[in-house]
Amino acid sequence: MRAWGLALAWAGVFVVSSAGAETPVERGSYLVNTVMTCQNCHTPKGPPDAVAGKEFGGGLSWDEPPFKVTASNITQDKETGIGAWTDAQIKAFLTTGKRPNGVQVAPLMPTGYYKILTPGDLSAIVAYLRTIKPIKHEVPTPEYRVPMFQEVLPGAEKPIAPSDLNNKVKRGFYLATIAHCMECHTPMDKGRHLFSTSLGKGGQEFPGPWGKSVSRNLTSDKTAGLGAWTDAEIKRAITQGIAKDGTRLKPPMGYGYYAKMTDADIDAIVAWLRTLPPKS
């Protein structure tokens, strides 16, 4: 989140993770709790990590020139969460960024990256969200100071064909997209990502209790990017937060979540990263 923050299943629609998840709820849990890192924003934080028992009850806050917002309560509480939303309303929100009342949310909620979700995975996410215990916690009403918009990653404008997920590189693009990697690892100008010219170039700054971190260049450039890294070194960085030279990576990289991803899914992401043209 930026500071501003394979097997195909039955009917060719529901994509089963290589961990062998067999039910929509299991698949949804895998996506929400690992790939999409939803708790990174939607669960309140307290030393040293997420507050136990408050999962998905509303979390991080941002006060930036365009808006002042707090990550929503996405538990099943009917008054302060999304328990009163229909399945269709949740799906529409995840893929359009519009609440049931028609209000467009701030783009730091990466709904534009979720347009690529297969119908099966989108349904699985909703199925899992329905299992989250209700927590009564009303977050502050968002304050939007300029019109909000949805950013969409090129190539991810519509649901991916489930058959494409048999292709390792395309699967990697799918996973990296719903993990919204490029939200942090692509530079911005005037509040918009430079996808067309600088995809994966990195360079965004993230101040926090850790000091200041700068998102890494993920392109195949051998000096500035990952071109000189081995696959094993890239996987270690994603899942353990350790760079090629052995130094620890700083937050907000969600490697604690990615550590729970399957080896096959991590391999697919690495395969896709290898296709990014060098940028320096």
Is 4 a residue whose pLDDT tops 90?
Answer: no
Write out pLDDT tens, residues 151-209. Answer: 999 999 999 999 999 999 999 999 999 999 999 999 999 999 999 999 999 999 998 88
pLDDT at 16: 41
Per-domain residue ranges of the chain = 7-273
Tokens of residue 233, six digits: 């070194």
Mean pLDDT on 61-73: 96
3-state secondary structure of 163: helix
* β partners of residue 192: 189
Phi, psi of 49 (to 5 degrees): -150, -155
Is 145 a residue whose pLDDT tops 70?
Answer: yes
Q: What is the pTM of this model?
A: 0.91
* Number of neighbours of residue 155 by Cβ within 10 angstroms: 14
Write out pLDDT tens, residues 12-56. Answer: 333 444 444 479 999 999 999 999 999 999 998 865 566 788 999
Listed residue (67, 63, 44) closest to 55, CA to CA: 44
Listed residue (201, 202, 196) closest to 279, CA to CA: 201
Tokens of residue 8, six digits: 């195909």
Is 90 a residue whose pLDDT tops 80?
Answer: yes
pLDDT at 22: 76
Tell me the pLDDT band of 142, cut-offs 50, 70 and 90.
very high
Write out pLDDT tens, residues 249-264. Answer: 998 889 999 999 999 9
